[in-house]
Structure 1
Amino acid sequence: MLGTRRTRGLLALVLLLTLSGCTGVFGGVSDTDLDETPPEGDYEWDAEADVHVTIHENTTFEGVYRADGEELELYRRDGFGGRNPLSVSAVRYQYPNGTVINGTTLAQRGGVEESREAVTIRFPEGDVEGDKVAFTAGSSAKRFALPTFVEGDYEILLPPGRRASLPIFGSVSPAADQLSAPDADDRVHATVSEVTSDSVIAQFYMPRDLQILAVVLSVAGVVTAGGVAYYLRKIRDLRAQREEMGLDVDTDDDDFGRDPPPGM
C-alpha cells in the first residue's frame, strides 16, 4: 500500500514538472554539449552576413547569428503548429570587442535554458551592438530548414559536392540573390539579402544523383517501349488469327444468295 502511494506521488510530481515546462525533466543543455568543439574548430565570426550557415556532410550545420535583442530562441516547428527545442551543442558567444566565451561561461553570465518549446540563449550584456552567438545543430542529408530567428542577410554554404541550381531537385528559399561557383572545397555559397520570411530553406543534390536518375529513367523508358511493342505485336497476331478463322470477315447479303427485300 505504501509503495503504491509513493508511486502515485512520484507520477504526480513528474506530471506537475512536465506541465510547468521544468528544464530538469527535459535535461536541458549539458555542459558537455555547451562546450563541445565546433565541427571545424571555430566559427565564421568574420562573416559579413547577419546569419552565416555552414552545412556539413554529416547532417549537421553551424550557425553564426548576429545577436538581435537580449535573447535568442532556438526551435523547430512540428507538423501541428507547435514548437520543439532545437538540439544544440558547441555554443559560443562573441562580445563586440571580439572576445569569445564558451557555452558554460555564457550560461553563467547570461543564460542557456531549455523548455518544452525552445532553447533560450540570454546574452551577457543584454541588447548591445556587434555581438554574435554561434551553435551547432542537426540537419538532414539533402535539406536544411529553420525558422528565421534573425532577419537580415544570409549566407549559406552547402556541403561539399552539393548543388542547388536545378529547380525541383535543389533550390534556396527565399530565392538566392547569388549561387557562387564551387570554391576550393567544392562548396557553393548561397547569398540571400534582407530575409524577412518565416523560414529559410536550402534543398540540394549531388550531380551524380541526376546521372543515376537519368539512367533509371532511360532503362524505364526502354522497358516501357519494349512492353508496348510486345503487346502491339500480340494484338496484331490475335487479329490475324481471328481473320483466319473468319471471325472478323465482313459479309454482304448477296454472299448468301438472298435478294433484297421488296422495295429495296
Structure 2
Amino acid sequence: MTRRRRLLAVAGLAVMLSLSGCLGILGGGSVSDERLDATPPGGAYDWNASVDADRDAHITIYENASFAAIYAVDGNEIELYRRDGLGGRNPLDVRAIRYRYPNGTVITGTELRERGAIEQTRDVVRITFPGEGDVEGDRIAVTAGSTPKRFALPTYVKGSYEVVLPPNRRVSLPVFGDTSPGGATTSVDDADRLHVVWDDVQTNSVVVQFYLPQDVQIFGAVFAVFTVVGLGGLYYYRRQIEALREQREDLGLDVDTDTDDLDDDDPPPGMR
C-alpha cells in the first residue's frame, strides 16, 4: 500500500470514528465568555413572568427567530440539546446564560461557570448549578436560535409551560398553525402577543407552529390566481379540442364506425 493510500485510510477511519462518537471531539469544548455573557433579547430576562405565573418553563419567541427560555431548576444540572434527523442529539447553541437565586440575585454565565460548571460535549451543553443539595426555587435562563414560524424544543424539565409568540402571530388555523402536545390554552395580551399555556407537559418535546394572518391572505390570493389560471387553461384546451373536431368534420375525416350497421362477414369499407 502506497503512502498516499495509507494516509487516506487513516483519514477515513478518523472520520468514521468521529461520526460514530468514538472520539467525542466534534462539538466538544467550552462555551466562550462572549456567548455566556451576551445580552439577552430585550436587554434582560423577564424573570417575573416565570416566577409570578409559577411556570416550570417560560419561553418567549422573538421576531428574529430567536427565543429566551427560563426554566425552574429541577435537580443539580440541566442538559440542553436538539434532536437531529436521525434521533441523535446535538448541543444547543446557547448564549446569554443567566442564573437566578431564590432571593432574586442574578449572576452571569461566566459567574455561573465559576460557581458551578458549564461544558459542551458533542451531544449536549451541560450546566451544573452552584451549591449542593436542594436548589429548588432557582431558575436558569438561556437564549438560542429557533426556526421562523415554528418553535420546537425538547422538554428539559417537566411541568407547566408557557410559550409567548411575537406580536400578531396565531396558531388556530389548521395546516398553518398547530401546538403539541394537545390540550393547550391560548390568550392574547395587550401587545397582541399570543400566549400558549400547558398546565402539565410530560411529553418529550413542545412544538408551536404559527403564522401571520397576512400569510393566509397571501396564500388565498395565490390559490385564487392558480385556480383562475387552471380554469382558463382547461377552457382553452376544450376550445382547441372543439376546433380540431370541427376541422375534421369540414375535411370529411370523421368515419362512422357504428358496428351495429356492419355485417361481420363484409370486407372493410372501401374494399368491396
Distance (whole Å) between structure 2 residues aligned to residue 56 and residue 119 of structure 1: 22
Unaligned runs of 5+ in 1: 1-10
Match of 1:135 in 2: 142
Distance change (3 Å), C-alpha of 1:233 and 1:101: same
Residues 1:233 and 2:233 aligned together: no
Distance (whole Å) between structure 1 residues aligned to residue 183 and residue 141 of structure 2: 23
Residues 1:148 and 2:151 aligned together: no
Match for 1:216 among 222, 226, 232? 222
Match of 2:176 in 1: 169
Unaligned runs of 5+ in 2: 1-10, 267-272
Task: Check the 8 A contact 2:29/2:119 in 1, yes or no.
Answer: no
Match for 1:37 among 36, 39, 44? 39
TM-score relative to the length of structure 1? 0.84
Distance (whole Å) between structure 2 residues aligned to residue 99 and residue 56 of structure 1: 25
Residues 1:124 and 2:127 aligned together: no
Distance (whole Å) between structure 2 residues aligned to residue 89 and residue 153 of structure 1: 24
Per the alignment, in what secondary structure is the counterpart of residue 158 of structure 1?
Answer: strand
**Could you tell me how far 1:19 is from its partner in structure 2?**
4.8
Match of 2:30 in 1: 28
**Could you tell me how far 1:100 is from its partner in structure 2?**
1.2
Match for 1:199 among 205, 208, 212? 205
Task: Check the 8 A contact 2:55/2:160 in 1, yes or no.
Answer: yes
Distance (whole Å) between structure 1 residues aligned to residue 116 and residue 146 of structure 2: 27
Match of 1:5 in 2: none
Distance (whole Å) between structure 1 residues aligned to residue 126 and residue 214 of structure 2: 40
Distance (whole Å) between structure 2 residues aligned to residue 239 and residue 115 of structure 1: 73
**Could you tell me how far 1:245 is from its partner in structure 2?**
2.4
Distance (whole Å) between structure 2 residues aligned to residue 21 and residue 40 of structure 1: 36
Instruction: Report how many aligned residue pairs link the two structures.
Output: 243
Distance (whole Å) between structure 2 residues aligned to residue 214 and residue 137 of structure 1: 33
Distance change (3 Å), C-alpha of 1:20 and 1:105: farther
Give the letter aligned to residue 35 of structure 2.
Answer: D
**Could you tell me how far 1:79 is from its partner in structure 2?**
1.2
Distance (whole Å) between structure 2 residues aligned to residue 19 and residue 243 of structure 1: 78
Distance change (3 Å), C-alpha of 1:32 and 1:248: same
Distance change (3 Å), C-alpha of 1:248 and 1:97: same
